[in-house]
A and B are shown apart, each in its own frame.
Chain A
């Protein structure tokens, strides 16, 4: 099986072989590629970046992201949760907007401030 690594802009083209349960990865320039390939063939994970509504006129949308990666098949469910939120109080970069979203063990965090620092 072949795949491109998405861990960094290098985008290494990797070949994954499964010989009697022993998995080898070639083509990756670093260890991240190996870890990604193993994860990708068992349970693919992704990060999600989006925005949430705010009550602030000057900043109507606040950018957010998952604090880590979530199962790929949960992306749209997580988007649903993100879309339920309206931020009405000032938040700072890194603040948790949704704690442990859908029990994934990952939070939705603010990636900007709602105020001009």
Chain B
């Protein structure tokens, strides 16, 4: 049985960054189930990646290539075309079972970085009446067909959901000659970034209909039309607002869910808000020490730059991992926030700063994020003109501020007061 210090699961942007930082201090193995490294970036041919990390607007494959080059320069063992079927916790190590064309093999490691990414919510996970003909795709599948295989998924497309991939695909399909009849979003605000509303929809006169959803699919063999309906605040259909839109393709961009099958098997407790593991600031699981998590497996990010950053953090800490007892400070967030990662702080880590990734539930104007310790003292505050759910906020805060407190409270208050 081969022994490693760190095994990184997944060769997308999070896993590549994790393997690179881990290899500085530890013998590292990277396992990827596909033939090529790069994960979802391979099919994200649009630009806008790496503005924060590299200061340039790269396409997905270019961003991935930069990391693949860095991986090659390091001493990292890589196996591709390989699936992990099981990870078992031993006394001091983990046993990882891998299946590939050469059979089943076992590896032993001191720590594991889960960089397994996320999955798209599918047609079965949203409520649509009617037939189940061909022509219903998730945005990611449509993207794979178009950009990797070179097949246009359809000619007259309706997109349900205004997530970024849906918006990107609206533009992409239009460029390739399809007629995108509209993007329908059940919520009253778009889910994607504003820049994508502008450069993917407005630039091509693609209509965006908010508070509207797809309620029914028509068509026996292939999608022939869909019915749209307006919805109220509670997502109930408004009778009499139904419209039939002729289309041969329905594309769903209705959310992403972190992939944590392996984590579940290990009994890792997950946060219902992020749908990823509860972690401390080293991105280590709070209840299964030695398991680290990063990227979209931890929480769904809107920017790859932050995916890489979390990979780097997880990889570095996995390499330095020693099984010692942690004293954790709980982070409590107020109702206005969708989630905060990490959910706990371990004060005894090497980092000077703690990076918080935090997202609000609804659009908020003129607000202030306030962090208080157990003595109700304000240790940090920052003003925002606007906060939107699609745009995750990143806070870098000196760890010293969280000394000697058993919990911290993060709340959102009116930005007008003088603090």
CA distance A3 to B58 in the complex (A): 24
B375 sits at the interface (CB 8 A): no
Which B380-395 residues have a C-beta within 8 angstroms of A? 386, 391
The answer to whether B175 and A65 have CB atoms under 8 Å apart is no
The answer to whether A11 and B147 have CB atoms under 8 Å apart is no
A-B interface, 5 closest residue pairs, ranked by CB to CB distance from nearest? A11-B194, A112-B61, A63-B45, A6-B195, A111-B59
- Which residues does chain B contribute within 8 Å of A47, judged by CB atoms? 47, 57
The answer to whether B195 and A61 have CB atoms under 8 Å apart is no
A93 sits at the interface (CB 8 A): yes
CA distance A50 to B58 in the complex (A): 13
- Which residues does chain A contribute within 8 Å of B195, judged by CB atoms? 4-9, 11
From residue B40, how far is it (CB to closest CB) to chain A in Å?
Answer: 13
Q: List 6 other contacts, CB 8 Å, given A11-B198, A50-B176, A79-B176.
A: A47-B47, A60-B149, A63-B61, A65-B45, A112-B61, A117-B72
Given contacts A5-B195, A49-B46, A111-B45, contact A65 B59 (CB under 8 A): yes
A106 sits at the interface (CB 8 A): no
The answer to whether B59 and A49 have CB atoms under 8 Å apart is yes
Proximity bits, A33-71, B CB within 8 Å = 1, else 0: 000000000000011111101000000110101000000
From residue A62, how far is it (CB to closest CB) to chain B in Å?
Answer: 9
A116 sits at the interface (CB 8 A): yes
CA distance A107 to B51 in the complex (A): 21
Proximity bits, A6-18, B CB within 8 Å = 1, else 0: 1111110100000
B271 sits at the interface (CB 8 A): no
Given contacts A47-B47, A93-B65, A117-B68, contact A4 B197 (CB under 8 A): yes
Given contacts A11-B391, A61-B149, A63-B59, contact A112 B65 (CB under 8 A): yes
CA distance A7 to B46 in the complex (A): 14
The answer to whether B175 and A93 have CB atoms under 8 Å apart is no
From residue B154, how far is it (CB to closest CB) to chain A in Å?
Answer: 17
CA distance A72 to B205 in the complex (A): 13
B36 sits at the interface (CB 8 A): yes
- Which residues does chain A contribute within 8 Å of B62, judged by CB atoms? 93, 111-112
CA distance A108 to B83 in the complex (A): 37
Among A4, A7, A112, max chain B CB count under 10 A is at: A112
The answer to whether A48 and B175 have CB atoms under 8 Å apart is yes
From residue A112, how far is it (CB to closest CB) to chain B in Å?
Answer: 4
- Which residues does chain A contribute within 8 Å of B65, judged by CB atoms? 93, 112-113
- Which residues does chain B contribute within 8 Å of A6, judged by CB atoms? 195, 198-199
A-B contacts, 29 of them at CB < 8 A, read A3-B198, A4-B195, A4-B198, A5-B195, A6-B195, A6-B199, A9-B193, A9-B391, A10-B391, A11-B193, A11-B391, A13-B194, A13-B386, A49-B45, A49-B59, A51-B150, A63-B45, A63-B59, A65-B47, A75-B175, A76-B175, A79-B176, A111-B58, A111-B59, A111-B62, A112-B42, A116-B35, A117-B68, A117-B72
